[in-house]
């Protein structure tokens, strides 16, 4: 294990992320984007990294329309933006890493070359994407051996991906953005009529960003600023704070009603305002202010659901993903989320290197003047967000996957801990709701909410859509917590996924102890 060898939390996260790109290729990999929140154990400083890529310079609305589309395509070469993951890894390692860069890729290279057994959840997602894989010649060749997805327990090998990872281990991000992997990405794009250029790759840089935060009943909760949806989690919490949710039973209709109504208000603002701030102002400070939350919270009727919610006036004068968290012996905490967006991304496997390019460009709109309108070198609205919260000696890195589910799941997770006193594992297991659109009174609920709560919600005008007890619609998450007073680390893993909270081995042979949580 990376931590047992003296690696930092960032080393552990990069190594785990690289390995997950091999064993869970429909969800993540080097062809995708990356966001991270990092807490420095010595200084307490919270740092953010936005490693989401931009649209090619030649990818315009006119180019999309000339290709036969009148809206952004959901897959194919025109849904591809520059993958930011590898550059993000390199920047994180240079700033926070301890082990040699090349060491971090050895587990992933091993699994790609020698194979791994396919598990049930991964096999189901693989089989469900048969059509997308079959539509791409490289996808058929690499991922549909003998014309089918691997079965549960089959050993799957990807020697082409092993070659790509070996190049990264040897030459770093340069191999991906300027070297042999870049040349194959560009050749693949050209063969399919895409617009990617060598400059689009070579000039890309991920960015260090200042996390945004709010105080929620004494806990400070951090998210990353746009182009992601973290702002909506903070706005939702601020609205919830205006109501005595802690006075309600955790799974009651009263608690649920206020959370659902807060979600609607925050998400209408998310839909209206959030895009790449380099291309137009995003009123983040206003949207996450307590004064704005007071105005928005006043719109909630405690006895009646609102089926039509409008965005507020906040101007001055929202998939398939992996999430992991890690904490080391020094109290460094990493909250990391990485994705190729929809299952197997764009459906395009890069020539000779066996990995998919993501389809994050699908989240652009062609609507003129919209905050998320497609523009050259612009980053699309992003659904994937890492979370972090702390109070006194407790420092929690957490995240929950699932497209537009994420911000509302973050707010529910925080509320279970803060309002209801759950520990980080109980809060992860607790039933959740989700609403994946921007209007109406429909809401998906796990069936573990009491029948009386479900019925009471109907009485308030909600239309509950009841899902299974641990529904994939609610996403899956992981969390770690560092207790800086007692020097104890904790881990939590969501039963909705097949991840685990994995402790570093006890120091029988002189090593120190830590905990790492990783998700598949």
Query: Three-state SS string across 492-517, please?
Result: EECCCCCCEEEECCCCCCCCCCCEEE
Non-local (6+) Cβ contacts of 437 within 8 A are: none
**In contact, 293 and 450? CB cutoff 8 Å:** no
Q: Is the pLDDT of residue 180 over 80?
A: yes
Note the Cα 285 to chain centre separation in Å.
Answer: 23
* pLDDT in the model for residue 317: 33
pLDDT category at 46 given cuts 50, 70, 90 is: very high
The 8 Å CB, 24+ separation contacts for 243-252 are 243/297, 243/300, 243/302, 245/415, 245/419, 246/217, 246/418, 246/419, 246/420, 250/416, 250/419, 250/420, 250/422, 250/430, 251/430, 251/431, 251/448, 251/449, 251/450, 251/453, 252/450, 252/453, 252/456
Q: What is the mean pLDDT of residues 397-420?
A: 97
Percent share of the chain, pLDDT over 90 = 89
Helices assigned H by DSSP within 369-448? 405-418, 424-429
DSSP assignment letter at 335: E
Placement of tokens 């608690």 in the chain: 255
Q: What is the mean pLDDT of residues 5-22?
A: 96
- 201: which 2 tokens? 């790759």
* Domains of the chain by start residue, with CATH: 3-206+339-363 (no CATH), 230-317+392-500 (3.60.20.40)
Percent share of the chain, pLDDT over 70 = 96
Q: Is the pLDDT of residue 506 over 90?
A: no
> Which candidate, 474, 471, 342, 326, places its Cα nearest to that of 397?
326
CA distance 2 to 512: 12
Q: Is the pLDDT of residue 514 over 60?
A: no
Q: What's the pLDDT tens digit per position in 292-329?
A: 999 999 999 999 999 988 776 654 333 578 899 999 99
Strands 442-446 vs 463-467: parallel, antiparallel or unpaired: parallel
CA distance 139 to 145: 10
* pLDDT in the model for residue 439: 82
> Which candidate, 373, 398, 378, 400, places its Cα nearest to that of 388?
398
Instruction: Annotate 111-141 with DSSP letters as a single string.
Output: HHHH-EEPPHHHHHHHHHTHHHHHTSHHHHH
Q: What is the pTM of this model?
A: 0.94
* pLDDT in the model for residue 505: 74
Non-local (6+) Cβ contacts of 402 within 8 A are: 319, 321, 409, 434, 472, 473, 474, 475, 476
Of the candidates 321, 383, 434, 512, the residue annotated as catalytic is 321
DSSP assignment letter at 64: H
CA distance 477 to 418: 18
Q: Is the pLDDT of residue 517 over 70?
A: no
* pLDDT in the model for residue 1: 76
* pLDDT in the model for residue 316: 39
Q: What is the mean pLDDT of residues 93-99?
A: 98
Q: Is the pLDDT of residue 513 over 50?
A: no
User: How close are the terminal C-alpha atoms of the chain, in Å?
Assistant: 17
pLDDT category at 520 given cuts 50, 70, 90 is: very low
The rounded mean pLDDT for the chain is 94
DSSP assignment letter at 486: T
The dihedral of CA 184, 190, 192, 194: what is its sign?
positive
**Least confident segment among 35-39, 239-243, 319-323, 376-380:** 319-323
HSE on the CB side for 262, CA within 13 Å?
32
Q: What is the mean pLDDT of residues 416-438?
A: 96
* pLDDT in the model for residue 313: 60
Q: What is the mean pLDDT of residues 101-118?
A: 98
Triad 373, 379, 385: Cα angle to 5°: 110
* pLDDT in the model for residue 319: 57
Q: Is 321 a catalytic residue?
A: yes
**In contact, 128 and 148? CB cutoff 8 Å:** no
CA distance 238 to 253: 20
Q: What is the mean pLDDT of residues 168-180?
A: 98
Note the Cα 431 to chain centre separation in Å.
Answer: 20
CA distances to 211, 316, 339 from 20, in Å: 26, 43, 11
* pLDDT in the model for residue 310: 78
The Cβ of residue 295 has, within 10 Å, a number of other Cβ atoms equal to 15
Higher pLDDT, 498 or 245: 245
CA distance 8 to 1: 11
Question: In the structure, how many helices (H) and strands (E) does the chain have?
Answer: 18, 18
Higher pLDDT, 214 or 515: 214
CA distance 105 to 3: 14
**In contact, 207 and 49? CB cutoff 8 Å:** yes
């Amino acid at each position: 294990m990376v931590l047992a060898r003296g690696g930092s939390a960032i080393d552990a996260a990069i190594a785990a992320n690289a390995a997950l790109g091999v064993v869970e290729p429909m969800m993540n990999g080097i062809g995708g984007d990356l966001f991270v929140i990092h807490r420095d154990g010595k200084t307490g400083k919270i740092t953010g990294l936005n490693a989401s890529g931009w649209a090619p310079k030649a990818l315009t609305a006119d180019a999309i329309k000339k290709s036969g589309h009148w809206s952004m395509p959901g897959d194919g070469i025109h849904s591809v933006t520059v993958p930011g993951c590898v550059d993000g890894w390199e920047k994180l390692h240079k700033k926070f890493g301890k082990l040699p860069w090349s060491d971090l890729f050895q587990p992933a290279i091993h699994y790609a070359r020698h194979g791994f057994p396919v598990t049930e959840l991964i096999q189901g997602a693989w089989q469900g994407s048969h059509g997308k894989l079959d539509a791409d010649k490289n996808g058929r060749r690499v991922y549909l051996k003998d014309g089918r997805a691997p079965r549960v327990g089959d050993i799957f090998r990807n020697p082409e991906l092993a070659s790509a990872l070996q190049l990264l281990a040897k030459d770093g991000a340069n191999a991906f953005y300027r070297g042999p992997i870049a040349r194959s990405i560009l050749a693949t794009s050209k063969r399919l009529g895409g617009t990617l250029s060598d400059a689009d790759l070579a000039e890309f840089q991920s960015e260090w960003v200042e996390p945004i935060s709010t105080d929620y009943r004494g806990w400070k909760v951090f998210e990353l600023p746009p182009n992601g949806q973290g702002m909506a989690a903070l706005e939702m919490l601020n609205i919830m704070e205006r109501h005595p949710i802690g006075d309600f039973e955790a799974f009651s209709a009263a608690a649920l009603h206020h959370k659902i109504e807060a979600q609607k208000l925050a998400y209408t603002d998310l839909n209206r305002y959030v895009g790449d701030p380099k291309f137009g102002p995003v009123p983040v400070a206003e949207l996450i202010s307590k004064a704005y939350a007071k105005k928005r919270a006043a719109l909630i009727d405690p006895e009646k659901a609102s089926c039509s919610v409008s965005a507020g006036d906040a101007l001055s004068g929202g998939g398939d993903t992996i999430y992991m968290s890690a904490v080391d012996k020094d109290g460094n905490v990493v909250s990391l989320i990485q994705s190729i967006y929809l299952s197997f991304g764009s459906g395009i496997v890069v020539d000779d290197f066996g990995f998919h390019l993501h389809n994050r460009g699908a989240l652009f709109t062609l609507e003129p003047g919209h905050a998320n309108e497609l523009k050259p070198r612009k980053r699309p609205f992003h659904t994937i967000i890492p979370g972090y919260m702390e109070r006194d000696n407790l420092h929690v890195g957490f995240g929950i996957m699932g497209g537009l589910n994420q911000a509302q799941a973050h707010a529910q997770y925080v509320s279970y801990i803060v309002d209801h006193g759950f520990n980080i594992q109980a809060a992860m297991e607790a039933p959740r709701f989700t609403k994946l659109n921007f209007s109406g009174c429909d809401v998906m609920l796990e069936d573990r909410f009491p029948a009386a709560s479900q019925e009471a919600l109907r009485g308030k005008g909600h239309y509950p859509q009841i899902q299974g007890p641990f529904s994939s619609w609610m996403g899956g998450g992981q969390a770690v917590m560092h207790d800086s007073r007692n020097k104890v680390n904790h881990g939590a893993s969501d039963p909705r996924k097949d991840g685990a909270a994995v402790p570093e081995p006890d120091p029988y042979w002189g090593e120190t102890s830590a905990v790492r949580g990783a998700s598949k």
